[in-house]
Amino acid sequence: MAGLVIPVAEWAALHDLVHRYAARVDERDFAGVAQLFGGDGVLVLPDPPHDFGPVREHPSPEGVAAALSVLDDVPLTAHGITGVVFDPGGNPAARGRITCVAHHVGPRDGRFADAVWHRHYLDRYAKTGGGWRFARREAHLDLLDTREVRATRLGR
Q: Identify the structural domains of the chain with CATH numbers, from first to last.
A: 2-149 (3.10.450.50)
The predicted pLDDT at position 3 comes to 52
Contact 34, 137 (CB under 8 A): no
φ and ψ at 89, to 5 degrees?
Answer: -130, 25
pLDDT in tens, the chain (156 residues): 345 788 999 999 999 999 999 999 999 999 999 999 999 999 999 999 899 999 999 999 999 999 999 999 999 999 999 999 999 987 789 999 999 999 999 998 888 999 999 999 999 999 999 899 999 999 999 999 999 998 888 765
CA angle, residues 35, 82, 100, in degrees to nearest 5: 55
Burial (CB count within 10 angstroms: exposed 0-12, middle 13-18, buried 19+), residue 132: buried
Residue 26 to residues 32, 88, 92, 111, 128: CA-CA distances in angstroms?
11, 29, 29, 21, 25
3-state secondary structure of 138: strand
* Cα angle value 51/18/29 (rounded, 5°): 85
Question: Looking at residue 1, what is its pLDDT?
Answer: 38
